[in-house]
Structure formats: C-alpha cells, structure tokens
Structure 1
Amino acid sequence: MESKIDSPKGFGQILDLTFIISKKKFSELILIMLIFLGPIYVLQAVMELASGVSFFREMETGGTWFENILGSFDETSTDADATLAVSGLLSLLFAPIAGAAIMFAVNHMRKDEEYTVGSVIKEAFSRFWPMLGSNILFGLITAGLFFIPMIIVFFVGIMGAVMSPFAGIALAVVLFLGFAFGLGLLLTRWSFYFGSVVFKEGTPGLSRSWELTKGRLWATFGLYVIFTLIITCISMALEFSFGLILGNSVLLSIIVNAGTLFTSVIFTVGYAVMYFDLKARQDADDLKEMIGDYHTT
C-alpha cells in the first residue's frame, strides 16, 4: 500500500488509497485528532453546560412532538455564540498542527519508515509558525476574493432589480454562481500551499501550489468536490438523525464533534494523498527514487 502513495494515480485510485490508509491507520490518525481537538470539544461542552444548555434534550410541555423538536433549535444566547467563537478560534490554531502531523505520518508511510504518534506531532510543532503565518495570509486572500465579488453581485442585483425585479435576481444568482465557481478553481490552484509549508518546499507556498496543480486542476477540483460531498453527507446525517432525538443539547454537540474528528481524518489523508500524487507528477519523485536505487546497487 505504502509504495502506491509515491506514484501518479487516477481519480478513483486516489479515493481508494485515501480510504485504505484511513482504515488501516485509523487508530493512530484519530488519536492525533483527539489530542489536538478533543480538549477543545470538551471545553465547548463544559461552556455549553455552564451557559444552561441541557446535556440531554429537555422535552417542552405543550405542542406536538415535532414542534418541540424544532423549538429546541431556536434557543440561542450570547453565551452560545461566545462558546462557538472560543472553540472556533482554538480549532483554527490547533487543527492545522493535527493536519500536519497526519501528513507527516502519510509521508513516513510513503517512505516505508517507522514512526510514532509522538514523533509526527513533534515534527508538526516544528512548523507551527510558518503554518500559522501562511494560514492567516491564505485566509485574508480568500476573504478578499470573496468580499469583492459579493459587492459586485449586490450592486448588479440592485441595479437590475430597479429595471426588472426578476431579471435583477436572476442576474445576481448567475453572477454569484459564476464567481463562486471561479473562486473555487482559483483556490484549488493555491490550496496545496499548506503541504508546501509543512514539508519546507516554500513559504507561504502559493507559487509552489500553483506549480503542483498545473495540468491537474479539474481532477483536483473534482476530488475536492467528492470529499466535500462525503463529509457533508456524514455531518448532515449525524445532525439530522441524532438532532431529532436530542434536540439542541450538549450530547448532540459531542456526537457531531466526534463525527467531525472522523471526517477530518478522511479529508486530511485525502489531501496528503493528492499532494504526493501531484508531487510525483510534477517532480517525478518516483523516477528519481528508481534512479537513486539503481546507483546504490
């Protein structure tokens, strides 16, 4: 299995290898996620309990069962918003370290090297500041690229609505979808900046990512779409099925967060497999290793 990581693969092969690695190394990879995100989710649960959210769903008196279920999700508070803000900020700081540790683990598999959870975490921490700076830069670029088109869509929609409400709305929707699609393709070209930073191939890594995705934009974009659909389906299934029973409770948050740990492992492994696939294609790593093996024999 490990040797396949270092060779160019097709669309389906990348998906297959992602799930093979995730299944075979699941205990190690989920442990990495738990070490970094587990305490954040525990803190989130404690803050929710302190703000008055019930651990189990409380049934309200009056109304139908379905109305009570929906009503439990309408209860929001400033404390709940603060809880989400704190857990979100901590996740932005520590989730990249977990992702880098998993990428180092996949890299060791690629090279048939032994590793431990502690060793890959140590490697990930060594890249903390470059990762943080690059993530902030990428986030600012993404926000700017999203904000400017939204202003254009808003003004075009307003101007079009003055002449014809239907035409204005239709034009705004078409522009929004077009900008969203174009932004998705552009961010795909830059998305492997993180792998470049993790493996010291360039910081902030945007130009390196642009080089890696050359000629593979549509396949890479398609893989992102597939992984996003898988993660969304799992998350929605958990929230909907358990939400009907538990409502807006701490236990529901714990279950959803557990699902997030699982999907995060799949996505990160998939990202690593895609990164090494692109690297093998653009840098001919598999050919270089064959030449190196020939000279050592």
Structure 2
Amino acid sequence: MESKIDTPKGFGQILDLTFSISRKKFSEFILIMLIFLGPIFVLQAVLELASGVGFFREVQAEGAWYDRTLDSFDEISTMRDVAIGFSALLSLIFGPIAGAAIILAVNHMRKGEEYTVGSVIKSAFSRFWPIFGSNILFYLIAGGLYFIPLISIIFLGVLGAAIFPVAGIIVAVFLFLVTLFGLGLFLTRLSFYFGSVVLKEETPGISRSWKLTKGRLWPTFGIYVVFTLIFTCITMALEFSFGLMLGNSVLLAMIVNVGTLFTSLIFAVGYAVMYFDLKARHDADDLKEMIGDYQTT
C-alpha cells in the first residue's frame, strides 16, 4: 500500500485507495476524529439540552406524524442557534488539526514508517498556528471571491428584472452558476495549501498548491465533486430517515454528528491521497526538468 500512496494514480485509483486506507486504519483515524471533534459534539448536545430542546423528540402529541415532525423543526431557540454556531466555530478551529494528524499518518505510511496516534496528534498540534493562519487567509480569499461577484450579480439581477423580469432572473441565475463553478475550479487550485503547511513544505502554501495542481485541475476537481456528492447523500439520508422518527431533537443532531465523523475521516484520507498523488507527479516533473537541463549543458 505504501508504494501505491507514493505513485501517480488515476481517478478511480485515488478513490479506491482512499476507501482502502480508511477501512484499514479506521480504528486509529476515528480515534483521532473523536479526540478532536467528540468533545465539541458533546458540548453542542449539552448546550442544546440547556436551551430546552428535547433529547428524543420535541413535538406535540396531536396531529399527523408529518405535521408533528415539521412542528419540531420550527421550535429552535436563539440559545440553540448560539450552541450550533459556537460548535461550528470550534470545529473550524480544531477540525483541521484532526485532518492534519491523519495527513501525517498517511505520510508515515507512504514512507513505511511506524507511528502512533499520540505522535501524529503531537506533530499536528506543533503546526497549529501555521495551519490557523493559512486557513484564515484561504477563507478570506474564498469569501472575497464569493461575495464580491455575488453582490454584483444581485445588483444586475434586480436591475435586469426591473426592465426585463423573466430574462433578468434567468441571466442572474446563469451568472451565479457560472461564478460558482469558476470559484470551485479556482479554489481547487489553492486548496492544497493545507497539505503543504502540515508537512512544512511551504507556508501559507498558496503558491505551492498552484504548482501542484498545474495540469491536474479537472481530475482533482472531479474527485472533490464526487466526495461532495457522497457526503451530501449520507448526511441527507441520516437527517431524513432519523428526522422522521426523532424530529428536531438532540439525538438527531448527535446521529448526524456521528455521520460527520465518518465523512470527515474519509475526506481527510482522500485529501492526503490526492496531495501525495500531486506531489509525486510534480516531483517527477521537476526531476525530468533537472535531467533535461543537465543533458543540455
């Protein structure tokens, strides 16, 4: 398996290796996720219970089952919103450290080195501030690239709708989809800054990511799309199936959060596999250039 991690792979091979590593190292990687995200999810559950949300179900006894389920989703307090927002903030801060620990573990596997859960967690924490700062930079870039065009599209859409109602709305929707697609491609070029920072190759790693994804944009973007579709389907399936029975309860949130642990684990492994695939291709290209320069001298 180590040799597969360190060699260029095709689209299907990356997905296959991702799920293979996730299955083989599941106990170690889920422990890493639980250490970082478990306490945050428990805190969220406690805060939701304190806000008055029922543990099993928060619905009225009267009415049809679908009316009772819908009613439960309307009973969200301000305190619960704060609990969810606070938990999301903590996840944004400590979730990347869990991902970094998994990337470091996969890197040890790539090199055929032994490691422990404690050692990779310690190494990940040693990169806390470079990771935190690089994430802030990436979020600012992504936010600026999203909201500035969005404001322009909304303005053009309102103006166009006032003159040509149907055509204006259609053009605005089209521009929004094109902008969203272009943003996805651009952020794919930048997204591997994280692996560079974790492995101490470059900080903040934006230029490194741009070089790594050169010539591999479409396959990489396609893998991101596949992961997004898989994880979205899993989350929606959990929310819909258990939501019918549990309503908008704390238990439902806990079940969805458990699903998030699994999907986050798989994504972290997939990201690591993609990063080392790009790294292998880039390093091979650099070696070819060095050989070419040597032969011409």
**Alpha-carbon distance in structure 1 between the residues aligned to 2:55 and 2:91:** 22
- CA shift, 1:76, in A, is 1.4
Superposition TM-score, scaled by structure 1 size: 0.95
Q: What amino acid does structure 2 have at the position aligned with 1:110?
A: R
Residue aligning to 2:274: 274
Residue aligning to 1:295: none
1:73 aligns with 2:87: no
Partner deviation per Cα, 1:188-209 (whole Å, 9 max, x = no partner): 0000000010011111100000
Superposition TM-score, scaled by structure 2 size: 0.95
Residue aligning to 1:163: 163
Residue aligning to 1:87: 87
Partner deviation per Cα, 1:91-133 (whole Å, 9 max, x = no partner): 1111011000000000011011110000000110110000000
Q: What amino acid does structure 2 have at the position aligned with 1:187?
A: L
2:59–2:247 CA contact under 8 A, matched in 1: no
Residue aligning to 2:119: 119
After TM superposition, list the pairs within 5 Å mapping 1:28-47 onto structure 2. 28-47=28-47
Q: What amino acid does structure 1 have at the position aligned with 2:53?
A: V
- The SS at the match of 2:113 is coil
Q: What amino acid does structure 2 have at the position aligned with 1:273?
A: V
Partner deviation per Cα, 1:121-177 (whole Å, 9 max, x = no partner): 011011000000000011011111001110111111011112111001000000000
Residue aligning to 1:215: 215
**Alpha-carbon distance in structure 2 between the residues aligned to 1:59 and 1:265:** 33
Residue aligning to 1:176: 176
Residue aligning to 1:283: 283
Deviates more, 1:276-285 or 1:167-176: 276-285
Residue aligning to 1:294: none
**Alpha-carbon distance in structure 1 between the residues aligned to 2:93 and 2:154:** 33
Residue aligning to 1:236: 236
- CA shift, 1:45, in A, is 0.5
- CA shift, 1:62, in A, is 2.3
**Alpha-carbon distance in structure 1 between the residues aligned to 2:61 and 2:211:** 61
Partner deviation per Cα, 1:220-244 (whole Å, 9 max, x = no partner): 0000000000110111111110010
Residue aligning to 1:291: none
Partner deviation per Cα, 1:9-30 (whole Å, 9 max, x = no partner): 0000000000000000000000
| Count, aligned residues | 288
Residue aligning to 1:109: 109
- CA shift, 1:59, in A, is 4.1
- The SS at the match of 2:74 is coil
Q: What amino acid does structure 1 have at the position aligned with 2:29?
A: L
Residue aligning to 1:198: 198
Residue aligning to 2:21: 21
- CA shift, 1:284, in A, is 2.1
2:58–2:248 CA contact under 8 A, matched in 1: no
The list of structure 1 runs, each at least 4 consecutive aligned residues, that deviate by more than 4 angstroms after superposition, is none
1:153 aligns with 2:153: yes
Q: What amino acid does structure 2 have at the position aligned with 1:146?
A: Y
Deviates more, 1:247-256 or 1:56-65: 56-65
- CA shift, 1:84, in A, is 1.0
1:257 aligns with 2:257: yes
